[in-house]
Structure 1
């Protein structure tokens, strides 16, 4: 799988700090403070209960270190690497109370993001041998978009826009409000920066023909088209624009969509419907 360079800790730390603040509440971990004698030390392991692709290990490490900088955190399965049931993903050694206080937040991040990476890898496998790249959308958990999109990269996928300011993406409602495909593309050609990429959504082949005739778009999003229509769209475009297939992209359908020759397949389910992987912390 894809191993990416780590994100800057100063960007990730506020996310982890907010999660720890939520979990510790107003008075901290009263259970651990009550029952664990001060000075008790342990070696703990984050262990996989099922197979998957690692992601979120960087955030898990930040969680432990924010609770106790003296904890020794060792990653054995880096973000982007595959693991099997029973594999140890990381080891944490030090004060038992500190480990227990950070445990849930660390596992929440690692399990959630590994779930996204693993699901992405499943979709990527279905497109193997074709030109199609699997990409995510902005259908992410509020506040966690950066790390969820990083998890998509760990699974071998690609990222679409991070925000509304990344590119011009003209959707069906923009077209309806502006009066049609030609008016929106003419507005883009008249007013958009030469540095800005432009994508426009169509759901019919006659709309694609209008886009190709008018010009002004770099990418065309083919929304909710049947497979036969996607084949026709690829032939019509003949490489003049990048083509992205989207809408109802179930895992079972991805292989046939990828075989049409589209350049990208965007899948909201990579982030909005990923299952959290079962990871545990064992003393």
Structure 2
């Protein structure tokens, strides 16, 4: 059964339309090829549950087959991004599970990050207020992060007796802000302010709270109207080149760029330049 449509015939393998996807555990809307996913339990600062984890994972997996979505915005309702796993609906039940059950859970949460990194669409996180635990991981796993000065980002796993190595944090976070700074956040579990996050390079930019979502959507819209095949290739190379030598990276980038040179968008850009016009990209 496909979580997205309820039909086994729509399992990934063929192209999917996700413009009219009906979400169950979060808000979802699409405008001009940009999907906005809003965690919407504002009374609890938008915590995740077993079901919302699973639905997010399945949705990002399906994005690989969605021709009608070109960029994604992740955000939260009610002036907070996400407070992490729900204390009563996740943390409590986890204390009752055996080792196989715990491993199934941690692998599922890791699969969400894998799905976010594997989907071709750039993901822009709009972060306001609390961004903690799994919420901090979701922001980290996004491609671009726009925050507010009042945002508070905490990889707080050690504060509940767990290791900081959750959902890829020890691999991804040092690549964004450096080993020493990542070590500080992952050992201490302390909150990182919006200004500190921007200074360290975790956040790409800061916006006023009332504009942070629109800033993320504007950024996403610009990408969605650009050479989206090439953007997907950029995302793929940014991810896959982490464990390559420089020589290997140069070789795979040569192949990737040659593939992009075969696209109609590349030819459109050339002809527009000749005519001194702005190119109109169509993602093919």
Whichever structure has more helix as a proportion of its residues is 2
Is TM (by shorter chain) over 0.5? no
> Which of the five TM-score ranges fits, normalised by the shorter chain?
under 0.3
Q: TM-score normalised to the size of structure 2? A: 0.22
With a CA cutoff of 8 Å and minimum separation of 6, indicate the structure with the bigger relative contact order.
Answer: 1
